[in-house]
């Protein structure tokens, strides 16, 4: 049953918190640990529905995953070695996790097995062709569907004799890149992925951490070295070795308490240990351009990933232009950025958002519709979202938002309701557990007024 919730204008938010572990790194740590020889220990793994679905799929293929009820204890994975996974006895249900299903496709491609991958209604609407097309060129067989048009449920047959390829990404996508590199671990020779626009690089960092022979080179362009993008090459028949992984806080989850602190008068919130990888930090770069009272401090590196502490204080914001080339570094943060733009002075233009149309829902349309319902003028021109800010304390609110089963839409509009004049209701919060299981508890601890809508 749907769980409607209401957010209403709150007093100052204050606190010093940690958000759950990064979802992208959690997925990769589990998968690479299952493909490695020996034991992998994962500290701070995100225990969300998405990640748990990925863990269950790996267990169904023979990965030994040991978890503890004690959330401070690490997860242990006894890997099977590259090429060592076994065929599952039934379909692999990945729920709402696009990352898990797409990375698993890359891993399954290098195994002589047949597997059926399924998901919930939202995931089944999302395109899988751009992942399966390059994998089919390497030797993965897609049964009963054309690879370029495939959607879940999909049955695939892998091969222990994959062909290495050199593949240029048609769009900036860490999921496509990661799937091809994972398949490349099982191919004879070198597999190369070329990306003209940088996407999140967690797979490259973690593959190197697990001992893969991997090379990243800058490509020359009109402006010189690096202007043409990057080439990532992995050597096949790799032998990964179990490692210790410490998962930093998810910057996409941190965006919500940070945003709330910026728009609720008198607030000051500190979020500790947040992933500060440049390929994931575009949201915070944009906040600084908007004039946000934001401090990024105590920068350090753990297991190859940079992390930092973020302090956010309430204050005025101004509208800005967010260029298309920044989109890959903040693709999940646009709904909450659009909410902040509603409280800014002037117009905010967010460009290059075609990718938002193929997320859990058409996030571009749903975000604009939700803002309009809340009394904020928002429109779409091509793949650009335009929000005309009303300034601090002048957003009307008073809307009921159809979340379309999208966790980030739900959290973004609940955040809006904390500073709008009239409450905001979202039609369901059940899906928030896919990425931020303790969202309500954490935000409530800061002073946010979030309550279930009784009798709805």
Q: What is the DSSP string of 360-400?
A: SS-HHHHHHHHHHHTT-EEEEETTEEEEEEE-TT---B--E
What is the pLDDT, as a whole number, of residue 164? 97
Q: Is pLDDT of 71 > 60?
A: yes
Q: How confident is the model at residue 359 (pLDDT cuts 50, 70, 90)?
A: confident
Burial 394-414 (b: 16+ CB within 10 A, else e): ebebebbbbbbbbbbbbbbbb
Rg, Å, the chain Cα set? 22
| Mean pLDDT, range 400-414, rounded to an integer | 96
What CATH number should be reported for the domain holding residue 344?
3.65.10.10
**HSE value, Cβ hemisphere, 13 Å, CA-based, for 454:** 1
Whether residues 129 and 278 fall in one domain: no
The CB-side HSE value for 14 (13 A sphere, CA atoms) comes to 3
Phi, psi angle pair for 152, to nearest 5° = -70, 150
Report whether 453 contacts 425 (CB < 8 A). yes
Residue 220 shares a structural domain with residue 93: yes
Q: Pick 116 or 69 by higher pLDDT.
A: 116
Considering the domain architecture, whether residues 283 and 402 belong to the same structural domain is answered as yes
Give which of 397, 377, 237, 261 is closest to 319, Cα–Cα. Answer: 377
Strands 345-350, 384-390: pairing kind: antiparallel
Which residues, 6 or more positions from 283, have their beta carbon under 8 angstroms from its beta carbon? 251, 252, 255, 329, 330, 333, 336, 337
Same domain for 228 and 348, yes or no, is: no
Number of domains in the chain: 2
Query: For residue 122, is pLDDT > 90?
Result: no
Comparing 144 with 224, the larger pLDDT belongs to 144
449-452 and 5-8 beta bridge pairing: antiparallel
pLDDT for residue 114 is more than 70: yes
Residue of 343, 344, 355 lying closest to 421 (CA atoms): 343
Q: How far apart are the first and last CA of the chain?
A: 11
User: Where residue 225 falls among pLDDT bands split at 50, 70, 90?
Assistant: low
Same domain for 331 and 402: yes
Q: What is the pLDDT of residue 72?
A: 83
Q: Does one domain contain both 134 and 196?
A: yes
**How far is residue 383's CA from residue 387's CA, in Å, rounded to a whole number?**
13
Q: Output the pLDDT for position 303.
A: 74
What pLDDT shows up at residue 315?
Answer: 98
Residue 49 parent element (H or E): helix 49-60
Coil, helix or strand at residue 455: coil
Query: Which has the higher per-residue pLDDT, 223 or 358?
Result: 358
Question: Is 390 in the same domain as 403?
Answer: yes
Residues 6 or more apart whose Cβ sits within 8 Å of residue 135: 105, 106, 109, 147, 179, 180, 183
Domain encompassing residue 60: 23-246
Sign of CA dihedral 280, 281, 287, 290: negative
Look up the pTM and report it.
0.89
- The span from the CA of 247 to the CA of 149, in Å, is 35
The domain boundary, picked from 200, 221, 246, lies at 246
Say yes or no to pLDDT of 456 above 70.
Answer: no
Tell me the mean pLDDT in the region 72-82: 93
Backbone phi, psi, residue 142, to 5°: -100, 120
Same domain, 258 and 331: yes
Please provide the average confidence, as pLDDT, over all residues in the chain: 95
What are the backbone angles phi and psi of residue 117, rounded to the nearest 5°? -110, 130
The most confident of the ranges 120-129, 358-367, 441-450 is 441-450
**Does residue 150 share a domain with residue 100?**
yes
Residue 150: name the closest of 102, 90, 87, 86 by CA. Answer: 102
Is residue 219 pLDDT above 80, yes or no?
yes
| Phi, psi of 33, deg, nearest 5 | -65, -40
What is the mean predicted confidence (pLDDT) over 354-358?
A: 87
Percent of the chain residues past pLDDT 70, beyond the cut: 98
For the chain, what percent of residues have pLDDT higher than 90?
A: 90
* Inter-residue contact 384 to 392 (CB < 8 Å): no
Residues 241 and 258 both lie in one domain? no
Listed range (53-57, 166-170, 301-305, 388-392) with the worst mean pLDDT: 301-305
Q: Has residue 228 got a pLDDT over 90?
A: no
269 with 230, same domain: the answer is no
Q: Both 230 and 254 in a single domain? A: no
Residues involved in catalysis = 332
pLDDT at 36 over 80: yes
DSSP 3-state of 446:
helix
User: Which among 118, 100, 116 is positioned nearest to 29, based on CA atoms?
Assistant: 100
Average pLDDT over residues 18-23: 96
For the cut 60, the answer to whether the pLDDT of residue 223 exceeds it is no
pLDDT at 222: 58
158/138 Cα distance (integer angstroms): 10
Q: Where are the alpha helices (DSSP H) in 150-309?
A: 174-184, 202-209, 251-263, 282-289
Q: Tell me which of 215, 246, 277 is where a domain ends.
A: 246
| Final residue of a structural domain among 246, 276, 304 | 246
- Tens digits of per-residue pLDDT, 123-168? 999 889 999 999 999 999 999 999 999 999 999 999 999 999 999 9
């Amino acid at each position: 049953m749907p769980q409607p919730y209401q957010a209403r204008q709150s007093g100052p938010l204050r606190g010093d918190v940690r958000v759950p572990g990064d979802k992208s790194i959690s997925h990769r740590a589990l998968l690479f640990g299952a493909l490695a020889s020996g034991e992998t220990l994962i500290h701070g793994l995100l225990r969300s529905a998405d990640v748990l679905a990925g863990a269950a799929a790996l267990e169904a293929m023979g990965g030994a995953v040991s978890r503890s009820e004690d959330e401070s204890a690490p997860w242990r994975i006894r890997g099977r070695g590259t090429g060592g996974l076994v065929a599952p006895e039934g379909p692999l249900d990945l729920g709402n996790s696009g990352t898990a299903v797409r990375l698993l496709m890359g891993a399954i491609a290098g195994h002589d097995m047949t597997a059926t991958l399924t998901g919930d209604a939202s995931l089944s609407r999302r395109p899988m062709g751009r992942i399966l097309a390059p994998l089919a060129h390497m030797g993965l067989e897609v049964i009963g569907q054309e690879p370029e048009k495939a959607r879940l449920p999909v049955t695939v047959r892998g091969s222990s004799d994959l062909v290495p390829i050199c593949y240029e990404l048609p769009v900036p996508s860490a999921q496509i890149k990661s799937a091809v590199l994972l398949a490349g671990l099982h191919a004879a020779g070198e597999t190369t992925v070329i990306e003209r626009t940088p996407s999140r690089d967690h797979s490259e960092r973690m593959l190197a951490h697990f001992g893969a022979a991997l090379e990243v080179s800058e490509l020359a362009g009109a402006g010189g070295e690096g202007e043409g993008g990057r080439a990532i090459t992995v050597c096949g028949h790799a032998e990964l070795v179990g490692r210790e992984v410490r998962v930093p806080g998810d910057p996409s989850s941190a965006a919500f308490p940070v945003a709330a602190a910026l728009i609720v008068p008198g607030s000051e919130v500190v979020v500790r240990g947040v992933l500060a990888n440049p390929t994931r930090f575009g949201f915070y770069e944009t906040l600084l351009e908007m004039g946000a009272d934001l401090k990024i401090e105590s920068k350090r590196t753990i297991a190859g990933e940079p992390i930092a502490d973020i302090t956010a204080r309430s204050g005025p914001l101004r509208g800005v232009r967010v260029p298309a080339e920044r989109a890959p570094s903040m693709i999940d943060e646009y709904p909450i950025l659009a909410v902040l733009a509603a409280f800014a002075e002037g117009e905010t233009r967010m460009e290059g958002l075609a990718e938002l149309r193929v997320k859990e829902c058409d996030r571009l349309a749903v975000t604009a519709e939700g803002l309009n319902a809340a009394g904020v003028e928002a429109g779409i021109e091509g793949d650009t979202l335009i929000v005309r800010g009303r300034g601090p304390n002048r957003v009307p609110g008073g809307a009921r938002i159809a979340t379309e089963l999208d966790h980030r839409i739900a959290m973004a509009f609940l955040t809006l309701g904390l500073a709008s004049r009239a409450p905001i209701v979202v039609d369901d919060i059940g899906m928030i557990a896919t990425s931020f299981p303790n969202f309500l508890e954490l935000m409530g601890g800061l002073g946010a007024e979030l309550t279930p809508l009784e009798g709805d």
